[in-house]
Amino acid sequence: MADTITPPTLPPNASMIQMIEALWRLPRDLVSEGYDDALRALAGQLPMTIHEYPTGTPCFTWTVPEKWHCREARLETLDGRVLLTSRDNPLHVASYSTPFRGEITREELLPRLHVHPRLPDAVPFRFFYYTRDWGLCCTQALKDSLAEARYRVVIDAAFSPGTLKVGEAVLPGQSDDCFVFCAHLCHPAMVNDDLSGVAVGIDVMRRLARLPRRRYTYRLVILPETIGSAAYLSHNEALIPTMRGGLFLEMLGTGHGHVLQKSAPGDSIMDRCAALALRDDGREHAVGDFLTVILNDERMFNAPGIRVPMASLSRTLPQGHPEYPFNEYHTSLDCPERLVPGSLEASRDLVLAIVDMLEYDHVPTPLFKGELCFSRYGFDYARLKMSLMQVLFSLDGQTSAVDIARKTGSPFAVVRECLEGMAAHGLIDKAWPTPV
Amino acid sequence: MADTITPPTLPPNASMIQMIEALWRLPRDLVSEGYDDALRALAGQLPMTIHEYPTGTPCFTWTVPEKWHCREARLETLDGRVLLTSRDNPLHVASYSTPFRGEITREELLPRLHVHPRLPDAVPFRFFYYTRDWGLCCTQALKDSLAEARYRVVIDAAFSPGTLKVGEAVLPGQSDDCFVFCAHLCHPAMVNDDLSGVAVGIDVMRRLARLPRRRYTYRLVILPETIGSAAYLSHNEALIPTMRGGLFLEMLGTGHGHVLQKSAPGDSIMDRCAALALRDDGREHAVGDFLTVILNDERMFNAPGIRVPMASLSRTLPQGHPEYPFNEYHTSLDCPERLVPGSLEASRDLVLAIVDMLEYDHVPTPLFKGELCFSRYGFDYARLKMSLMQVLFSLDGQTSAVDIARKTGSPFAVVRECLEGMAAHGLIDKAWPTPV
Amino acid sequence: MADTITPPTLPPNASMIQMIEALWRLPRDLVSEGYDDALRALAGQLPMTIHEYPTGTPCFTWTVPEKWHCREARLETLDGRVLLTSRDNPLHVASYSTPFRGEITREELLPRLHVHPRLPDAVPFRFFYYTRDWGLCCTQALKDSLAEARYRVVIDAAFSPGTLKVGEAVLPGQSDDCFVFCAHLCHPAMVNDDLSGVAVGIDVMRRLARLPRRRYTYRLVILPETIGSAAYLSHNEALIPTMRGGLFLEMLGTGHGHVLQKSAPGDSIMDRCAALALRDDGREHAVGDFLTVILNDERMFNAPGIRVPMASLSRTLPQGHPEYPFNEYHTSLDCPERLVPGSLEASRDLVLAIVDMLEYDHVPTPLFKGELCFSRYGFDYARLKMSLMQVLFSLDGQTSAVDIARKTGSPFAVVRECLEGMAAHGLIDKAWPTPV
């Protein structure tokens, strides 16, 4: 029985793919045992606090929902032949379906039996978070085969008081000012949406943990979508002023190019570093305004009264593409086999490159006058000539290293090389872009 | 005789077309009996003050001209056959022509006999406001038929002291801050230019008069072009600081799309509301910078020392079009038959939509934190989803309702629906965009 | 012998072409007798101070180099046949070559014998300012003819303490605030690069000297490239705050259109006047950002700690063109015969037009209200109508004459005519754009 499934475990320092394979199949609903099992397993990968918010807790204008537990949902013929059961795949039942047990006619059944409009072999993901109702999901072939007059439906589900859980990992820095990575964990039996973002976030944090020093504090929050952000933020309002930016992570295992969705202000330091990292990365990518790529928890962070500039990073097709955001989105086909090898690692490295910019960024102030006699300071002038010029003339005591790279078009690594060469000779002074 | 023509009258609450038909044929020159008759008739349509400025009154750098009265101007053969007379059409004599009576040769006559370069059947409109001279106007056919050696010309006109008249209708609002509609009335025997703007202005004011309350005060000024604005503004300087914007109205009965000519600053609240109303209207339209569409009294309002941001609304062809601003412009063919049915009414409704925006516009301030749990407040989320998002994230306590609609691309009506839904639940506070 | 060449002289008030023809062939190296002879001759054309900075003097991060004197450099066969000698053309030896005398193999010689990659008949210009080495330069034909196994090389050159010289001409104005023209003189035996800029600079100054009054002070500095600017600026730091802008001059005798390279800020009054003069000039031209057209001493002036907004004016091909910056650049073919007649004069007149704008520019403030009754003030309304309108509505007490011309598109001369007409009637007040 589902009730007695042994909770999954993970070896210490599991790889991203190990995390995904161990946890993807769990029925990870908003407030549910599957979600709790997954979060508990992840908490062994790095120091993590698990915040709990009981059912009914007010969170800004939201309320923590009840726990939903579905022992089994199945469809069978009147003579007892099982046509589908959630024991095969949690997606066969719409999340948060109300309990039901009875015989219904084919005509009553069909509107509640959801298939995917484009993918006949897929079982779609449906949910009833905002209305009380029930539904089943199946492939087109199964639906087409239903020829009998009546069927039996069993949705052995229950609502009960529970606790919504948010996992938070914190890496302290010299400053309490922090950047927040965020990913949701509440999409049952799927991978790119949403385990891929969780895996990348954890791997990023494990690597940042090894840095000898960090200028900023970094947080990773893992939560059920939307309500999880509302719960976390409404109970940690004192932290909000320290959050200088954030990055939502998801859909990072597809083979599509990276897409940066800017934060609401669009020009925060996180936006600028992320756009620069993508530019310097050179591979195909896209940048879109807030609300124009994909909608997730970055909305809650950017909302009125909070206004943390959280961007989002994904690998999605453009809006308007028939397979937007990616072919297997919200279906049973979003499974480990579809992960494109190397995608998760490249996304992780991109996030690390962004952090590298955040950490290095500062406002250089020239301590010299005139164009430098570059030949005197050991610069590789033949290679760096135009970059040296562009960096030099950008030294206005206001423009930061990241902004110099953005405005001049020189790669960040080259700008950094020029600035470090100048700093090594005491030619510039460094100031952090804003007090921290 | 023209001197004894009975002044026209209008029924109470005359339609726009009734006003035009009753008044269009009058010889409405700058300071003239025809103008006075027309203004007096209009004054019965709504409460109106008629300001009088005597000949010779200094108005900024201008001076009120003399009254011009032309009993008759005619061209005849030496044997007394009348070829043209202003009793048939006031346009046959150039406005403000000097008196003349005598025989002249064909060669002397022809340079003073004006025809239209493109429309052979039209009698063109000419005037001598800035030089003292006389001229006659006729069709190409008449001019071509002149084969005799000598003709007799009679221009039985007189200059005398008079009073320039400006009609002003005022609808008080909660604030003394006002918006000014302006139209000129001094174009004899023509319709689109200029009676159409007068008619729309009066109908707009009559409808605004029925509003249970107005936030702003509204003024309609009807005047002779340029000198009328100079006279009115130079004698009402105390009002100028209360004028937050204005809209000049003319050429609104053609079948062309609306054209908004922005005020000199170009981004006043009137400019923004007018541009938004045109965008939401959806029909073909154009927006041009100040001085690039058509020149009228908005110049005097926008000029140094006054700087009231008055835009202008017309239905003109683009500059550069061979028929610019419209085919019958400044000719005898600009007559009631050429009015395109429905145009005046659509223009009036557009102006009312602009006023609706001016009246509603405010800066909403969120009283909540986080993204709203829309399902809790009865919004039609399926229909409004992206608009609700866009409005929500625009709530920065600085951006007004009109600017939210402009920046997000959501129709004003939809933005308003979202904001009113929020206001109904006490979720936002409203502040007027500037103190009034 | 080169040592005993009679220094060139110039007649008083020599023409630009006379200056070029008299001085172009001199071996004008950074610190050298040829350079000194040229500067001394130019000093007779207008009052000039010659600043001297001894070898070893620190100049910001630079140091004044040694004087380099090359009595002769030659290549000969072992049997004494002279293949090339610097007595024929100073370009045959790389500037600042180290002394050498000896026999070398053909294989040793060839890498030190420089030819032009594209122009087989040209002797290229090479230098060793930042490394100690020697080289010879010749045509492709000469290099191809070298078939012997060994050759004799004589570079009879010497380094010794000397003084770097900067010529400075000053024309005082009502204000100490100044604009700086700059050109370098250190390119041996070439014309467009760099004598053309020197000649234009001197002719401009001679003409400005005749003005009855100047609002600003003007400076012309003639110097060896880069190090000359470092020397001059580091020893005249007190002047830097008075320098409101500058213009570097070079390559002005080609037949290509003018190219303005903006200063680093890009919107200084010099930038704006120069761009406007080019626009009004109407002939083919281009405008590029700082560092994107051609690199010269404007870099030192724009550099950190100095920040004088110096633009540059040249007649160069676009970057990327195979002949960039011009066909004969840095070769023996850059000689007087290649000057395109009229180019220098047109460039001089363009610079004078820029100065005319700098001198006239002011912020007009209207002393009237309303649109002017233009007919009252004698304006040629038929011709000036739209310009008069545009000027009138631009009178906001903040926008200067030059900026009115730029923003409205009206030629500066027409804007000036309108403003002078208004000023003649006491209609405007004038304020200088910034306190001087």
Q: Cβ separation of C291 and A396 shorter than 8 Å? A: no
What's the residue count for chain A? Answer: 436
- Chain C, nearest residue to A390 by Cα: C291
Q: C391 and C257 in one domain? A: no
- Rounded to whole angstroms, how far apart are CA atoms A354 and A345? 14
Q: Residue B170 domain-assigned? A: yes
Q: Cβ separation of A303 and B392 shorter than 8 Å? A: yes
Q: B23 and B72 in one domain? A: no
Residue C258 pairs in a beta bridge with C285
Residue C6 in this model has a pLDDT that exceeds 90: no
List pLDDT tens digits, range B357-408.
Answer: 999 999 999 999 999 999 999 999 999 999 999 999 999 999 999 999 999 9
A130 touches chain B (CB under 8 A): yes
Q: What is the mean pLDDT of residues B176-188?
A: 98
Q: Cβ separation of A291 and B392 shorter than 8 Å? A: no
Q: Cβ separation of B393 and A302 shorter than 8 Å? A: yes
Q: C226 and C81 in one domain? A: no
pLDDT at residue number C434: 54
Give percent of chain B above pLDDT 70: 98
Helix (H) or strand (E) holding B408: helix B401-408
pLDDT at residue number C251: 98
- Band the pLDDT of C350: cuts 50, 70, 90: very high
Residue B433 in this model has a pLDDT that exceeds 90: no
- Chain C, nearest residue to B263 by Cα: C393
Residue C30 in this model has a pLDDT that exceeds 90: yes
Q: Cβ separation of C372 and B61 shorter than 8 Å? A: yes
Q: B328 and B213 in one domain? A: yes
A182 touches chain B (CB under 8 A): no
- Band the pLDDT of B436: cuts 50, 70, 90: very low
The encoded tokens of residue B435 equal 């103190």
Residue A387 CB neighbour total at 10 angstroms: 20
Residue B435 in this model has a pLDDT that exceeds 70: no
Residue B82 has φ and ψ, to the nearest 5°, of: -80, 120
Angstroms from C377 CA to nearest CA on chain B: 10
Residue C130 in this model has a pLDDT that exceeds 90: no
Q: What is the mean pLDDT of residues B100-125?
A: 98
Give percent of chain C above pLDDT 90: 96
The encoded tokens of residue B328 equal 């019958």
- Rounded to whole angstroms, how far apart are CA atoms A350 and A352? 5
* Closest C-alpha to C189, from C70, C99, C77: C70
What is the tally of structural domains in chain A?
3
Chain C residues near residue A372 by CB distance under 8 angstroms: 61
pLDDT at residue number B240: 98
Q: Output the CA–CA distances (angstroms, integers) from residue C267 to A97, C108, C217, C271, C290, in the order listed.
A: 65, 52, 21, 5, 11
Facing residue for C389 by CB, picked from B60, B63, B291: B291
Q: Cβ separation of B371 and A299 shorter than 8 Å? A: yes
Collapsing DSSP to helix, strand or coil, C95 comes out as strand
Q: Which of A363, A365, A367, A371 to mutate to test the interface with C (most CBs of C within 10 A)?
A: A371
Segments of chain A scoring below 50 in pLDDT: 1-2, 435-436
* Closest C-alpha to C434, from C258, C175, C152: C175
pLDDT at residue number A6: 83
The encoded tokens of residue B284 equal 């073909």
CATH number at residue A390: 1.10.10
B110 touches chain A (CB under 8 A): no
Q: Cβ separation of B370 and A230 shorter than 8 Å? A: yes
pLDDT at residue number B2: 46
pLDDT at residue number A388: 97
Residue type, C117: P
pTM above 0.90, yes or no: yes
C295 touches chain A (CB under 8 A): yes
- Rounded to whole angstroms, how far apart are CA atoms B144 and A110? 84
ipTM tops 0.90: yes
Residue C142 CB neighbour total at 10 angstroms: 18
Domain boundary at A329, A359, A389, which? A359
C425 touches chain B (CB under 8 A): no
Structural domain boundaries, residue B73:
67-160
Q: A236 and A168 in one domain? A: yes
Facing residue for C371 by CB, picked from B63, B130, B300: B300
Q: Residue C141 domain-assigned? A: yes
- Chain C, nearest residue to A386 by Cα: C291
Domain boundary at A160, A182, A199, which? A160
A278 touches chain B (CB under 8 A): no
C128 touches chain A (CB under 8 A): no
B304 touches chain A (CB under 8 A): no
Q: Residue B7 domain-assigned? A: no
Q: Residue B418 domain-assigned? A: yes
Q: Which of A30, A61, A129, A229 to mutate to test the interface with B (most CBs of B within 10 A)?
A: A61
Strand-strand pairing, A178-184 and A243-249: parallel
Each residue of A62-80: b (16+ CB within 10 Å) or e? bbbbbbbbbebbbbeeeee
Q: Residue B1 domain-assigned? A: no
- Is C330 annotated as contributing to ligand binding? yes
* Closest C-alpha to B369, from A100, A240, C223, C129: A240
- Chain C, nearest residue to B296 by Cα: C371
Q: Output the CA–CA distances (angstroms, integers) from residue A93 to A85, A116, A135, C216, in the order listed.
A: 8, 14, 6, 83
Helix H segments across B298-380?
Answer: 298-302, 343-360
- Please report the residues numbered 373 through 402 in chain A whose beta carbons come closer than 8 angstroms to any beta carbon of chain C: 373, 375-376, 386, 389-390, 392-393, 395-396
pLDDT at residue number A281: 96
- Rounded to whole angstroms, how far apart are CA atoms B385 and B364? 19
Q: Cβ separation of B233 and C386 shorter than 8 Å? A: no
- Rounded to whole angstroms, how far apart are CA atoms C127 and C124? 10
Residue C201 has φ and ψ, to the nearest 5°, of: -60, -45
DSSP class of residue A124 equals B
Q: Output the CA–CA distances (angstroms, integers) from residue B74 to A431, B24, B90, B109, B359, in the order listed.
A: 86, 21, 11, 12, 53
Q: C175 and C123 in one domain? A: no
Q: What is the mean pLDDT of residues B69-96?
A: 97
DSSP class of residue B196 equals H
- Band the pLDDT of C5: cuts 50, 70, 90: low
Q: C385 and C246 in one domain? A: no
- Rounded to whole angstroms, how far apart are CA atoms B273 and B350? 11
pLDDT at residue number A2: 46
Q: B264 and B123 in one domain? A: no
B233 touches chain C (CB under 8 A): yes
CB C247 within 8 Å of CB C206: no
pLDDT at residue number B21: 97
- Chain B, nearest residue to A303 by Cα: B370
Facing residue for C306 by CB, picked from A370, A372, A373: A370
Q: A224 and A140 in one domain? A: no
- Rounded to whole angstroms, how far apart are CA atoms A418 and C128? 24
Q: Residue C6 domain-assigned? A: no
Q: Residue C144 domain-assigned? A: yes
CATH number at residue B125: 3.50.30.90
Angstroms from B396 CA to nearest CA on chain C: 31
Collapsing DSSP to helix, strand or coil, C163 comes out as strand
Q: Cβ separation of A371 and C230 shorter than 8 Å? A: yes
B368 touches chain A (CB under 8 A): yes
Q: Cβ separation of B233 and C370 shorter than 8 Å? A: yes
DSSP class of residue A87 equals T
Q: Residue B2 domain-assigned? A: no
Angstroms from B62 CA to nearest CA on chain C: 6
**Contacts for C369 with CB less than 8 Å, ≥ 6 apart:** B60, B233, B234, B303, B304, B305, B306
Q: Cβ separation of A371 and C305 shorter than 8 Å? A: no
Three-class secondary structure assignment of B124-156: ECCECCCCCCCCEECCHHHHHCCCCCEEEEEEE
- Is C187 annotated as contributing to ligand binding? yes
- Rounded to whole angstroms, how far apart are CA atoms A334 and A189? 8
Q: B293 and B275 in one domain? A: yes
Q: B168 and B244 in one domain? A: yes
- Is A51 annotated as contributing to ligand binding? no
The encoded tokens of residue A380 equal 């590789």
Chain A residues near residue C295 by CB distance under 8 angstroms: 389
Domain boundary at A307, A324, A359, which? A359
List pLDDT tens digits, range C273-292.
Answer: 999 999 999 999 999 999 99
User: Chains meeting B at 3+ CB pairs closer than 8 A?
Assistant: A, C
Q: Cβ separation of B304 and C368 shorter than 8 Å? A: yes
Helix %, strand %, coil % for chain C, to 5? 35, 25, 45
**Contacts for B170 with CB less than 8 Å, ≥ 6 apart:** B47, B49, B178, B217, B218, B219
Q: Cβ separation of C369 and B305 shorter than 8 Å? A: yes
Q: Output the CA–CA distances (angstroms, integers) from residue B319 to A286, B252, B324, in the order listed.
A: 40, 17, 6
CB B436 within 8 Å of CB B362: no
Q: C203 and C91 in one domain? A: no
* Closest C-alpha to A59, from B371, B422, B377: B371
Residue A185 pairs in a beta bridge with none
